[in-house]
């Protein structure tokens, strides 16, 4: 399956700044400092201290069906003085967990979080390098990570970094590719083992800064998934 998707992914990498989005930024509910930049990009945080922003897709998706998320991430251009990173969250309600080092999924149960971390928190077991990890149930220490942390090259270079997240419900595999390379892979029945048999979840993306800062953006390229037939009541007021 990886071989079948590699060529299209490399093609998208070459055209990361020009591929037309297939979903609108208007389809996201924004929280905190998040603001729309243009017809495909959302700035989650400006380059200021102690900012946090979130963007949740307005419709719940069905994890019994495949999904594919293709976006570009911009994690700012402050390297040594940059923080904190971007997290992708899957949760039964549209609710953001603790920000900052919590990457927006800390404290959420049940949840699945994919982090693109640009700041080393020693007490969380972070490596010195920018890194990718998959965490569950709001646990942010890497001793509890089910995949990673995997060090990657410097993400705080002001450039767009192509991200591709794919879920195959038949093979029960979640794949995360960044800049054309597989950075994380999870083989698990996440519907049964993580979400208690509930296949209806929301997904969103969050970012935060602390004493160190960066502007952090997400640019939507292609979203392919099945919306849940029964949409749950939206809870968007529970920001932490």
Do residues 91 and 179 make contact, with C-beta atoms less than 8 angstroms apart? no
Q: pTM for the complete prediction?
A: 0.88
DSSP assignment of 39-76: SSEEEEE-SSTT-EEEEEESS-EETTS-EEEEEEEE--
pLDDT of residue 14: 44
Which residue stretches of the chain have pLDDT < 50?
1-15, 17-21, 238-240
pLDDT of residue 96: 86
pLDDT of residue 240: 45
Residues in the chain: 240
User: pLDDT tens for residues 112-141?
Assistant: 999 999 999 999 999 999 999 999 998 888
User: pLDDT tens for residues 58-74?
Assistant: 999 999 999 999 999 99
Q: Which domains are delineated in the chain? A: 2-224 (2.60.120.200)
Burial class (CB in 10 A: 0-12, 13-18, 19+), 129: middle
Q: Structure tokens of 144?
A: 């509890």
């Amino acid at each position: 399956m990886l071989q079948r998707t590699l060529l299209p992914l490399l093609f998208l990498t070459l055209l990361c700044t020009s591929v037309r989005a297939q979903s609108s930024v208007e389809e996201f509910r924004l929280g905190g400092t998040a603001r729309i930049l243009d017809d495909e990009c959302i700035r989650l945080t400006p380059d200021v201290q102690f900012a946090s922003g979130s963007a949740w897709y307005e419709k719940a998706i069905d994890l019994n069906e495949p999904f594919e998320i293709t976006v570009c991430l911009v994690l700012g251009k402050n390297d040594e003085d940059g923080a904190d990173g971007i997290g992708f969250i899957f949760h039964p309600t549209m609710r953001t967990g603790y920000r900052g080092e919590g990457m927006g999924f800390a404290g959420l149960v049940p949840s699945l979080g994919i982090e693109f971390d640009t700041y080393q928190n020693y007490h969380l077991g972070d490596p010195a390098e920018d890194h990718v990890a998959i965490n569950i149930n709001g646990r942010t220490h890497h001793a509890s990570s089910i995949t990673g942390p995997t060090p990657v090259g410097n993400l705080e270079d002001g450039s767009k970094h192509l991200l591709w997240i794919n879920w195959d419900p038949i093979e029960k595999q979640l794949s995360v590719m960044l800049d054309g390379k597989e950075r994380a892979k999870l083989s698990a029945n996440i519907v049964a083992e993580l979400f208690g048999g509930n296949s209806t979840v929301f997904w969103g993306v969050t970012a935060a800064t602390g004493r160190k800062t960066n502007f952090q953006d997400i640019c939507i390229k292609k979203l392919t998934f099945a919306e849940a037939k029964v949409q749950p009541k939206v809870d968007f007021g529970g920001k932490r």
